[in-house]
């Protein structure tokens, strides 16, 4: 993928660029092929300069490619971590390297800041699975039942919801409401996973992540029989029969913490491709079996597009003030509940 980067005449791999990026290249040895470094390094050096000029901060989701994740990101994390850190930063400009709903969440929490996404096509199959009108219908069908909405949704859907959650805190958020039943949108698999962890009845919506729904239990059993002593850790957006095969289930940040703390000799991360590459860079003693389901939306973000974004201040993410105000209530309620222990 990275080799598809178009070259730019004004960006050269000069001795100065080599010197400025050498420590990073050495740290990413084995993660980024040596032959690619002269392509990435001039972008990394130029992006670093522009970040200072623009008073900008780069937030990158754990699924971003290593040259972004390790190369230019100031803050990295799962959806919850990015929402929290985006709200805290003093920078005037946030460049969100992730998908559109993450940029919208940053804008909802920091309306005074300029929030940029390097490519507007970075969407999400979960966010596309439900509309504000769908939520209004659900509420009419189940009057008085609170709506818990995964952050992987549009601002309009958040605005119709009582509280948001992420995969890190979904169980904690559901239980925080002190009710017997909740409507849970839009990820049916995360909802089913939450139902296994709580006595609260979960009314599901039928959305799914196009990346995680493709994993199968057979695939996991195949990894295990090929690799004795393999530790399998999976994201809760996977179907239940996949999660049944896992030793640990958690958000992307939960999975990273698991590997960092336990240092399993061999691990398979059942989630998006780039996670293993990013985590491998910081855990040289762990061997990664790398199943690869790629998120085509996350992969819209590239170093040339980040540079273009900082040069031209594109593409600003805007949310209508009335929608943002209502969505902010749901997101803020989630942040007030705090990060859960489940991932
Ligand atoms: P988390 O990073 O919050 O676990 O979310 C995973 C995901 O698919 C985000 O799009
Ligand atoms: Fe959406 Fe799935 Fe991609 Fe995450 S991995 S952005 S949930 S499609």
Among 209, 232, 267, where does a domain finish? 209
Task: Based on the fold, state whether residues 266 and 282 are members of the same structural domain.
Answer: yes
Structural domain including 260 reads 212-289
Strand 93-97 with 248-249, pairing: unpaired
Say if residue 237's pLDDT is above 80: yes
Least confident stretch, 3-12, 110-119, 173-182, 245-254? 3-12
Predicted model pTM: 0.94
Task: Based on the fold, state whether residues 42 and 103 are members of the same structural domain.
Answer: yes
Of ligand 2's listed atoms, the one at least distance from the Cα of 124 is 1
Confidence band (pLDDT; 50, 70, 90) for 338? low
CA atoms within 13 A on the CB side of 282: 14
- The verdict on residue 2 lying in a domain is no
Task: Based on the fold, state whether residues 191 and 164 are members of the same structural domain.
Answer: yes
Confidence band (pLDDT; 50, 70, 90) for 340? very low
Q: What average pLDDT does the chain have?
A: 94
- Please indicate whether residue 271, judged by its CB atom, sits closer than 6 Å to ligand 1: no
**Among 140, 208, 150, CA closest to 174:** 150
Say if residue 225's pLDDT is above 90: yes
Task: Based on the fold, state whether residues 117 and 168 are members of the same structural domain.
Answer: no
- Please indicate whether residue 21, judged by its CB atom, sits closer than 6 Å to ligand 1: no
Strand order in the sheet with 114-116: 75-77, 56-61, 93-97, 114-116
- The verdict on residue 47 lying in a domain is yes
Note the ligand closest to the C-alpha atom of 210: 2
- The verdict on residue 170 lying in a domain is yes
Give, for 164, the enclosing helix (H) or strand (E). strand 163-165
Task: Based on the fold, state whether residues 259 and 218 are members of the same structural domain.
Answer: yes
Best of 123, 124, 167, 294 for a ligand 1 pocket test (most atoms within 8 Å of beta carbon): 167
Q: What angle do CA 188, 79, 150 make, to 5 degrees?
A: 30
Task: Based on the fold, state whether residues 15 and 116 are members of the same structural domain.
Answer: yes
In this predicted structure, what is the pLDDT of residue 262? 98
- The verdict on residue 308 lying in a domain is yes
Among 209, 225, 249, where does a domain finish? 209
Supply the CATH number for residue 259's domain.
3.40.50.10800
Task: Based on the fold, state whether residues 24 and 97 are members of the same structural domain.
Answer: yes
Best of 119, 124, 129, 251 for a ligand 2 pocket test (most atoms within 8 Å of beta carbon): 124
- The verdict on residue 337 lying in a domain is no
Mean pLDDT, rounded, for 116-134: 98
In this predicted structure, what is the pLDDT of residue 170? 97
Distance 206 CA to ligand 1 centre (A): 18
Structural domains counted in the chain: 3
- Please indicate whether residue 129, judged by its CB atom, sits closer than 6 Å to ligand 2: no
In this predicted structure, what is the pLDDT of residue 2? 42
- Please indicate whether residue 209, judged by its CB atom, sits closer than 6 Å to ligand 2: yes
Task: Based on the fold, state whether residues 26 and 111 are members of the same structural domain.
Answer: yes
- The verdict on residue 145 lying in a domain is yes
Among 185, 209, 233, where does a domain finish? 209
Distance 293 CA to ligand 2 centre (A): 11
Task: Based on the fold, state whether residues 147 and 69 are members of the same structural domain.
Answer: no
Query: How far, CA to CA in Å, does 2 sit from each of 25, 35, 258, 286?
Result: 15, 11, 28, 25
Say if residue 343's pLDDT is above 60: no
How is residue 280 annotated by DSSP? H
Task: Based on the fold, state whether residues 108 and 20 are members of the same structural domain.
Answer: yes
**Cα(62)–Cα(65) distance, rounded to whole angstroms?**
8
Assigned token pair, 60 = 């990158």
Of ligand 2's listed atoms, the one at least distance from the Cα of 209 is 2
pLDDT in tens, 189-218: 999 999 999 999 999 999 999 999 999 999
- The verdict on residue 38 lying in a domain is yes
Say if residue 3's pLDDT is above 60: no
Q: Are 44 and 25 in contact (CB under 8 A)?
A: no
Distance 200 CA to ligand 1 centre (A): 23
- The verdict on residue 317 lying in a domain is no
Give, for 306, the enclosing helix (H) or strand (E). helix 303-312
Mean pLDDT, rounded, for 7-14: 84
Mean pLDDT, rounded, for 32-59: 97
Task: Based on the fold, state whether residues 219 and 232 are members of the same structural domain.
Answer: yes
In this predicted structure, what is the pLDDT of residue 233? 98
Task: Based on the fold, state whether residues 144 and 194 are members of the same structural domain.
Answer: yes
Q: Which has more confidence, 5 or 40? A: 40
Say if residue 69's pLDDT is above 70: yes
């Amino acid at each position: 993928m990275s080799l598809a980067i178009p070259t730019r005449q004004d960006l050269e791999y000069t001795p100065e660029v080599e010197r400025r990026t050498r420590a990073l290249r050495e740290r990413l040895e084995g993660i980024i092929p040596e032959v690619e470094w002269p392509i990435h390094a001039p972008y990394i050096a130029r992006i670093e300069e522009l970040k200072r000029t623009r008073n900008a901060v780069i937030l990158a989701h754990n699924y971003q490619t290593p040259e972004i994740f390790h190369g230019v990101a100031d803050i990295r994390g799962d959806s919850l971590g990015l929402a929290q850190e985006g709200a805290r930063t003093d920078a005037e400009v946030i460049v969100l390297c992730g998908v559109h709903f993450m940029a919208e969440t940053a804008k909802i929490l920091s309306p005074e800041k300029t929030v940029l996404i390097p490519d507007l096509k970075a969407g999400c199959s979960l966010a596309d699975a439900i509309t504000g009108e769908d939520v209004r219908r659900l509420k009419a069908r189940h009057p008085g039942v609170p709506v818990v909405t995964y952050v992987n949704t549009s601002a309009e859907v958040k605005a119709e919801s009582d509280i948001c959650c992420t995969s890190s805190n979904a169980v904690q958020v559901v239980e925080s409401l002190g009710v017997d039943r909740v409507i849970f949108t839009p990820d049916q698999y995360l909802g089913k996973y939450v139902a296994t962890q709580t006595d609260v009845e979960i009314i599901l919506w039928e959305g799914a992540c196009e990346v995680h729904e493709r994993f199968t239990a057979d695939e996991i059993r195949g990894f295990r029989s090929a690799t004795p002593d393999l530790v399998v850790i999976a994201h809760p957006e996977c179907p239940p029969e996949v999660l049944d095969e896992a030793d640990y289930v958690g958000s992307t940040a939960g999975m990273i913490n698991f590997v960092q703390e336990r240092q399993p000799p061999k691990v398979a991360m059942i989630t998006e491709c780039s996670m293993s590459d990013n985590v491998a860079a910081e855990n040289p003693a762990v061997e990664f079996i790398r199943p690869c389901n790629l998120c085509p939306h996350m992969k819209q973000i590239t170093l040339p597009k980040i540079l273009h974004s900082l040069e031209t201040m594109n593409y600003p993410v805007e949310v209508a003030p009335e929608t943002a105000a209502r969505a902010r209530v749901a997101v803020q309620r989630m942040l007030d509940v705090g990060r859960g222990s489940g991932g």
